[in-house]
Structure 1
Amino acid sequence: MSDSNSFISHLIELRSRLLKAVLSILVIFVPLAFFAQDLYHLLATPLLNAMPDNSQMIATDVGAPFFAPFKLTLVLAFFLAIPFVLYQIWGFIAPGLYRNEKKLIAPLLLSSTLLFYAGIAFAYFVVFPVIFAFFAGIEISGVAFTTDISSYLAFVLKLFFAFGLAFEIPVAVILMCWAGITDAASLRAKRPYVIVGVFVVGMLLTPPDIISQSLLAVPMWILFEIGILIGALYSPKSDEEEKEEHQEVS
């Protein structure tokens, strides 16, 4: 097969897998669309529980009561379809990988999905009640605590992505060690800088109180340490280590 025919066949396969990924999102979205209002209310529950009595959220745009739940449902469909989307990505790249690469990438795809879900769940069940209680407790004379539903959705989705990506730290550390970009010893030496860095990230993504900052920073630090422990197993061996192993075998 010529290079041009091979390239075209790869493009056709890529298009097919992309269409399957998009179709999986639509298949999940259609039934969820009937429960869009209920899903939005579930998402808003942490804020509603923190708001003062007899207060409610508002819609400052005419189409917001429809489009905000619609957008949430579409994003949720994408989140739920991530395993199938990653499976399509795996099916496309797997034929070009060596056996040892397949042994690493396949578990990482699964673990990255679970970690992303864990980050979202941690944000919803642990972080949201704390930060919304903090916001609701701030009183300014003449200002009523009300939140626009579109602004709330945008804020929550940013935090979901932030925590979902933050929980991918072990995967990133393992990949860097496996690729030889760094190693476990170097990362341990940089631990003080990492600790400062995660608290800076926590300060930027959460309200300005130590509890909220720690709710993001401490899990990131723990995940970093887990990544170091596992990454040490995948770090490329030095020439001396390979010679020692060869001598032991011989």
Structure 2
Amino acid sequence: MAEGDTVDHDEQPIAQHDDGLDRTERTFVSHLRELRSRIMAALLSVLVVLLVLVPFANDLYLWLADPLLRHMSDTGATMIATEVASPFLAPFKLALFVAVFISAPYIFYQVWAFVAPGLYRNEQQLALPVLVSSTALFYFGIAFAYYIVFPLMFGFFSATAPSGVAVMTDISKYLDFVLKLFFAFGVAFEVPVATYLAVRTGMTTRKTLVAKRPYVIVAAFVVGMLLTPPDIISQILLAVPVWLLFELGLILCGLYIQDSEES
């Protein structure tokens, strides 16, 4: 009996250790299953929106090309397709982009629902407003590019074209050009969020950023030069909003972050 008791005591910690490993493994597997289900839900939302948009893909492309076509109509120029599949692929690619654009709030909700349970309460209070505001600012950046930048930029291009030169833009290259600018302006409009997070997380302070304002302004124009076509109008139309949004970020830091929190 004594020997048997000794064996039981020796095996008990091993059994408890195995139970702990099993629980950890079950938790890991459950997280993987939840991640898979949320990824599938996000992809399904994009697919559903895409199926709705596909019949209107050509109309979407005409809407996207309207800022350019308005200026081309004055000279009688038209858009062309230099590849056999471009008349189908370009509108379909645009429909896919718009589907992701429309589904973005639901996709971000799935990300939030997966990450939120692992965050502390104060982290949740910070993450949710940042997620919502960054999404809204990205949308505002795209809207600013379409309604403000494109008409001015394409008007400038048309006005400076040499006489006798027929402007014939390829539909695929135009789409790639526009999507790059959408992305550039969408990211540029995230400056207030980036400024606020930099101060809130202690990477820097508001006073330091205020002192380095001249460098930020120069950097804004450098970014405008790198991310936009080589014309002064589009560069200014990106650099000035970046500067103003940086100032907005400083104002938000002054309103919501105390000096004691910065230090």
**Normalized against structure 2, the TM-score is what?**
0.86
- After the TM superposition, which of the residue ranges 66-75 and 93-102 deviates more from structure 2? 93-102
For residues 31-80 of structure 1, give each alpha carbon's deviation from its aligned partner in whole angstroms, at most 9, with x where no partner exists: 11110000000000000012243211000000000000000000000001
Q: What does residue 53 of structure 2 align with?
A: 32
Q: What does residue 11 of structure 1 align with?
A: 32
User: Are 2:97 and 1:75 equivalent residues in the alignment?
Assistant: yes
Verify the 8 A CA contact 2:200 2:261 in the aligned structure 1: no
For residues 10-50 of structure 1, give each alpha carbon's deviation from its aligned partner in whole angstroms, at most 9, with x where no partner exists: 11111111111111111111111110000000000000012
For 1:129 and 1:98, the matched residues in 2 are separated by 46
- After the TM superposition, which of the residue ranges 158-167 and 52-61 deviates more from structure 2? 52-61
- Segments of structure 2 that go 5 or more residues without pairing to the other structure are 1-21
Q: What does residue 107 of structure 1 align with?
A: 129
For 1:39 and 1:49, the matched residues in 2 are separated by 16
Q: Which one of the candidate residues 184, 187, 209 is aligned to 1:165? A: 187
Verify the 8 A CA contact 1:46 1:132 in the aligned structure 2: yes
Q: What does residue 194 of structure 1 align with?
A: 216
Q: What does residue 212 of structure 1 align with?
A: 234
Query: Does the residue aligned with 2:260 lie in a helix, a strand or coil?
Result: coil
The 3 A distance-change label for structure 1 pair 154 and 191 is same
User: Are 2:171 and 1:149 equivalent residues in the alignment?
Assistant: yes
For 2:258 and 2:182, the matched residues in 1 are separated by 31
For 1:30 and 1:101, the matched residues in 2 are separated by 37
For 1:176 and 1:11, the matched residues in 2 are separated by 31
Report deviation, 1:138. Answer: 2.7
Q: Percent sequence identity over matched residues?
A: 57
Report deviation, 1:205. Answer: 2.7
Report deviation, 1:104. Answer: 1.2
For 1:113 and 1:238, the matched residues in 2 are separated by 26
For 1:107 and 1:236, the matched residues in 2 are separated by 21
Verify the 8 A CA contact 2:221 2:239 in the aligned structure 1: yes
Equivalent positions of 1:87-102 (< 5 A) are 87-102=109-124
For 1:40 and 1:181, the matched residues in 2 are separated by 43
For 2:114 and 2:79, the matched residues in 1 are separated by 45
Higher-Rg member (1/2): 2
The 3 A distance-change label for structure 1 pair 21 and 221 is same
**Normalized against structure 1, the TM-score is what?**
0.90
Q: Which one of the candidate residues 36, 39, 58 is aligned to 2:80? A: 58
Aligned residues: 240
Query: Does the residue aligned with 2:199 lie in a helix, a strand or coil?
Result: helix
For residues 176-207 of structure 1, give each alpha carbon's deviation from its aligned partner in whole angstroms, at most 9, with x where no partner exists: 22221112111111111110010111122334
Alignment-mate amino acid for residue 173 of structure 1: T
Report deviation, 1:174. Answer: 1.5
For 1:195 and 1:50, the matched residues in 2 are separated by 32
Verify the 8 A CA contact 1:58 1:149 in the aligned structure 2: yes
Please, what is the CA RMSD of the aligned residues?
Answer: 1.8
- After the TM superposition, which of the residue ranges 65-74 and 8-17 deviates more from structure 2? 8-17
- Segments of structure 1 that go 5 or more residues without pairing to the other structure are 242-250
User: Are 2:232 and 1:237 equivalent residues in the alignment?
Assistant: no
- After the TM superposition, which of the residue ranges 179-188 and 161-170 deviates more from structure 2? 179-188
Q: Which one of the candidate residues 203, 206, 209 is aligned to 2:225? A: 203
For 2:166 and 2:258, the matched residues in 1 are separated by 55
For 1:105 and 1:29, the matched residues in 2 are separated by 29
The 3 A distance-change label for structure 1 pair 234 and 23 is farther
Verify the 8 A CA contact 1:202 1:217 in the aligned structure 2: yes
Alignment-mate amino acid for residue 113 of structure 1: T
